[in-house]
Structure 1
Amino acid sequence: MRLNINIGLSTVQDISDILKMFWNLKEPIQLIISLITLYLIIWFNKIPKVKDREELLRNRLMEGGVFRPGLKTNLGTFLIYMVQMRESRGYKYWMKKLFLWKVEGHTTIYMHSDTLYSSVENQLPEVKKAVEKECNIRTRFFKSKDRYLGMFLEIPSTDPDKCMDILLEVGDILKSESR
């Protein structure tokens, strides 16, 4: 079979070659399979893995930048000790990820306070309510074994920039609400 690569179809022979190709089902199936394979290769390289995003956020939060001395609030200074990202699961999510190239999931940031004021425990329910209402995230305060205050934030995003913005917003709320 002879195919001329021209800008347009100029000869009758080109048209007949294309028709012969479509009559032979082996070649269109191979073309479709190769296009799907090409799409998947691009897809795997285009969408960053959740572990890479988690590592990026962990490096930003723990190795320097805005939060290295800690998140200073009126509740105390919160130090970040763990960051976890989890990707959504299920058939609908994988189809959305395949066709929209969009990663969804949530990020959990664990923090502990190095100082705790005596009146802070009474303020925790209203601070929690304010943080959850303003930032639309799940928040939980807990007391660790050694009586320090701990907090974890569950942010409904796997985007490191969005997580940083929400964490700054939480810091502002903690500074204003705990007065």
Structure 2
Amino acid sequence: MNGWASSLTSWSVIAIGVFWYVGAHNRLVRLRSTVVQAYAQLDAALTAQVQHVQALLAQAPVSADEIQRGLDATLRGACGQLATSLGAARLRPLHAPTMAALATAVRAWAAAWHQHAQAAGQALPALLAGDLLAGTAWPLPPTHVEVAQTQFNAAVTQYNAAVRQFPAILVAWLARFKVAAPLA
């Protein structure tokens, strides 16, 4: 009888451990999915901005002014870089180096757009170095980008907190969930 009770206790502990692992894993998967969905909204908002600028550049006549042609070329290159970075991040939105490359591409695009718009005579606020999108005068209304970035960063923060907390860190290690990077 004593062996039976010991066996029952062992199986109960194993069952509790398995159920806990499955529950913790499912929670991390849900949080990860939330990050991916939030990135999809950010991607759509940034892609719309890039496509709008590319359409403006395609419609603009070729300028005789060498400086304006240089600004156009710089903006085209920044649009291409941002589109490429968005494509890479679309495949791996939780990969920290990919998000860092996207942040760099967004900064380069915002600076190029800012210079181009100022050369066209628009009075724009100065770009702020500390914040990724602060001071950016978007070609389309910026609310979608700002809301999407806030939602993405909040989802990443929540996911990272879950991945780092004990005992879920054990599940994250076993399932190879890595800490994600916000778009900052």
- The answer to whether TM tops 0.5 is no
Point out the structure with the larger strand share. Answer: 1
Q: Which has the higher contact order (CA 8 A, sep 6+)?
A: 2
Point out the structure with the larger helix share. Answer: 2
Q: TM-score, normalised by structure 1?
A: 0.35
Q: TM-score, normalised by structure 2?
A: 0.34
